[in-house]
Each structure stands twice: as structure tokens, then as C-alpha cells.
Amino acid sequence: MYQFGLLPEDEAREVANFAIARGQRTAVILAPNSAWGERVAGAFRAAYQGKGGQIIANQQYADAPSSSYLQDVQNAVGASQGRASMVFLAASPSQARLLRPLLAAQAASLPVYATSHIFSGRTDPSKDADLDGVIYTEIPWVMESLQAGTLNNSTYPRMFALGMDAFLIAKNLPGIASNPSARVNGKTGDISLAGNRQIQRHLPFATFANGLPRPLGQ
């Protein structure tokens, strides 16, 4: 049996590896007090520490929007005592839109990283302008559709990409399974096989500018 899905843990590990490669070895984690938040934060923490990174502060915040968000951000930034070189933000779009401005006000120089969960999959520059500068993982299909001007035509673009890649994997599974280093370019990322028979995704990075996602570095 092989397992394939849009696992948030894949994206959290991608962020950890990317930040370490950039020399950012001290991190603050901000994650919701929920099962999902614990999964994402745990995956980031394990990958980051496995590469030699140090978690300076691990702050949970209320899963539902709350007036305590300011205090949560202040606690996280204060605990870092100026030693952090990045923030990992595990958040939904509504949470990220509230937390990102607070982070900018409390620690403007700290780069903020996130997973694709901060973007709803539909463009809304008036709301997402608060996310400008956040670096996050995004699936190729979303970026391709955005550049083609067709992203908002689909209600669930990531699920559409998942279906396409499920078919792609089914066709290429013998080759992937027989060669641990094999990768297939999919719509949800570059696809490979982990040792536990889980299909892994390796994603490119994007950022927000004027409330719109764009490939990082462009």
C-alpha cells in the first residue's frame, strides 16, 4: 500500500530545509492550539532541529480569532530576546491576515515563513495585502493557474491538482518504487517516494506582493 495526499507535514519540512539552507538557524514557531497546529509545528520542529536549527520559542495561539493574538505575538518575540532569525507561522488565511501585521509591528526585520495554508487558493488582494512579504510553499498548479489568469475559475484548485497527480503516480508508480531517487514533476510538487511508502512532495516557494502570490525571486 502506498499513501499520497496533501500532507501539511511535507510543506513544514520544506520550509525548515529552505530556511536552514539560507543560514537561518534560530526560529520562533507560531501555531494554533489545535491538532492540525501541533502536526505542522511538530514536523517543522523535527526537520529544523534535525538540520542543526534551534527553536527559540514555540508559541501557541487560539484556533479561533482572538484578542489574545497580540499578547501571543509579544510573548513569542519577547521570548526570543532578539536571537531569532526567522518565524515559522502555521496558520489559515484568516489567522495569517491577523497575525502577520502584528509580527510586522513587533519584529519587522524577522522573515516570516508559512505553508500554503495561508492562501485560500482564490485571489483577494484587498485581504491578502496583509500577507505581503511572507515566504510560503505553494503547489505548481496554483502558480501556473495564477499566471494564466484562471485560478479563480476553480473552487478547489489544490484538490484538482491532487486528482491529476494521483493519476500521474498510478502511471509511474513502478518506476518510482524501484528507484528511490526518482522524481516526477507533478502539479502538487515534485513527487518522490519515502522509505515508509508515503509519496512525498517537494514544493517551490512563493511570496506575496500587493496582495497577490508570485514565485519567490521574481
In order of their start, the domains of the chain are 8-138+204-215 (3.40.50.2300)
Question: Average pLDDT over the chain, rounded to whole?
Answer: 94
Q: How confident is the model at residue 194 (pLDDT cuts 50, 70, 90)?
A: confident
Phi, psi of 70 (to 5 degrees): -60, -45
**pLDDT recorded at residue 158:** 94
Q: Which long-range contacts (CB under 8 A, 24 or more apart) does 42-50 make?
A: 43/8, 43/9, 43/12, 43/13, 43/16, 44/12, 44/13, 44/15, 44/16, 44/88, 44/90, 46/13, 47/12, 47/13, 47/16, 47/17, 48/16, 48/19, 48/20, 48/88, 50/16
pLDDT of residue 66: 84
Of 18, 16, 14, 9, which is closest to residue 54 (Cα–Cα)? 16
Q: Per-residue DSSP letters for 9-54?
A: HHHHHHHHHHHHHTT--EEEEEEESSHHHHHHHHHHHHHHHHTT-E
At residue 53, the pLDDT reads 98
The answer to whether the pTM exceeds 0.75 is yes
Tell me the pLDDT tens digit for each residue of 151-193: 999 889 999 999 999 999 999 998 888 887 888 999 999 999 9
- pLDDT band at 1, cuts 50/70/90? confident
Q: Is the pLDDT of residue 218 over 60?
A: no
Cα separation of 129 and 126, whole Å? 6
Long-range contacts of 169-173 (CB under 8 A, 24+ apart): 169/2, 169/4, 169/199, 173/2
pLDDT by residue (tens digit) across 80-123?
A: 999 999 999 999 999 999 999 999 999 999 999 999 999 999 99
Q: Which of 8-12, 22-26, 158-162, 214-218 has the lowest mean pLDDT?
A: 214-218
